[in-house]
Amino acid sequence: MNFKLNNFLRVLVPFGLTQALGVYAAFKFLPQVIFVEPAGLGSFSLADLIILVAIIVIFFAVAVRFKRVGTAFYRFFLTILIFSGTQAIFGIWFPPLVSTVWAIGLTALFWVFQNILTHNIAMILTIAGIGSVLGLSLLPLTVIYVLVAFSFYDIIAVYKTGHMVKMAQAMIQSRAIFGFIVPEAGQSVRGHVSKVAPGEGFMILGSGDVIFPLLLSASLVRISILAAVIVGVFSVLGLFLMHLIFINQKTRRPMAALPPIALMSIIGYVVASLI
């Protein structure tokens, strides 16, 4: 069995920092939402979920089919997400006006420099900000159902229909990668995003693979910080499992990364519930 510690650490650092910062942010945001009832499964109808999935599928289908329109969509969408997520994180330490200015500045730097280091720093802040706020608005059991549902979706989208791979390729071509760019040995974090190509010295860890376990951890902050930390640790174990599966493929190809991460996160939830 192959295992490259250096390559694993390169993906562990941004993933772990996002989980830690997201749980911390959720803890800091908790006093503001403590009296707001988190959403359970009963808050969403089957029609709501179908409409949501349909919108997402149509959006990405159009983006893949019409490349110029897709590039504009991806960049606009990513810009909004970076601004929103970083503003939330900066809001922990700064007043609203200052946090807004910082968010605008970081969003601008993201597009101006477009090197891997700047990209990943922006993604850490963005995913941590969005994940912490959204996680606090959901019940843990709701997040678990979401984890299971999207894990099956990930498997189908990668191995059956392949549209997830096509969407990832379109994002890479548009330089609007919503996820972490992980340079392997011999590649530098100072490299330009335009040089990134999966399987050619780089690995892409999608935002969903990072934010979904964070949603579970953040949702548990209402109940217990210890439980949130335990789930975060188990999500890292899931990342390790995913890494082992990925590097030991006979033929290197894209894989559904969420299922092992989701599985270990749910196991972490069970362990935390028993303590």
Q: What is the pLDDT along the chain (275 residues), one digit of tens a residue?
A: 677 777 788 899 999 999 999 999 999 999 888 877 776 655 565 566 677 667 766 766 666 666 777 778 888 889 999 999 999 999 999 999 999 999 999 999 999 988 999 999 999 999 999 999 999 999 999 999 999 988 998 888 888 877 677 777 777 777 888 899 988 776 777 778 878 776 677 888 988 999 999 999 999 999 999 999 999 999 999 999 998 888 887 777 778 889 999 999 999 999 999 97
pLDDT at 38: 77
Indicate the pairing of strand 202-206 with strand 179-183: antiparallel
pLDDT of residue 177: 86
Q: What three-state secondary structure class fits 11?
A: helix
Q: Domains in the chain: how many in total? A: 1
In 3-state terms, what secondary structure has residue 76? helix
Give the chain's radius of gyration (CA, Å). 18
Task: Report the pLDDT value the prediction gives residue 27, as an integer from 0 to 100.
Answer: 95
Helix/strand/coil for 92: coil
Residues with Cβ within 8 Å of residue 260, at least 6 apart in sequence: 238, 241, 242, 245
> Cα separations (Å) of 9 from 5, 13, 140?
6, 6, 29
pTM for the model stands at: 0.90
What is d(CA 219, CA 133) in angstroms, rounded to the nearest whole number? 9
Query: What residue numbers bound the domain in which 96 lies?
Result: 5-274
CA–CA distance from 159 to each of 40, 153, 165, 256 (Å)? 31, 10, 9, 8
pLDDT of 44 reads 60
Distance between CA atoms of residues 169 and 253, nearest Å: 13
CA–CA separation, 266 and 231 (whole Å): 7
Closest to 231 in 3D by CA, of 140, 126, 149 = 140
CA distance 259 to 176: 24
CA atoms within 13 A on the CB side of 24: 14
- What is the predicted pLDDT for the residue at 246? 83
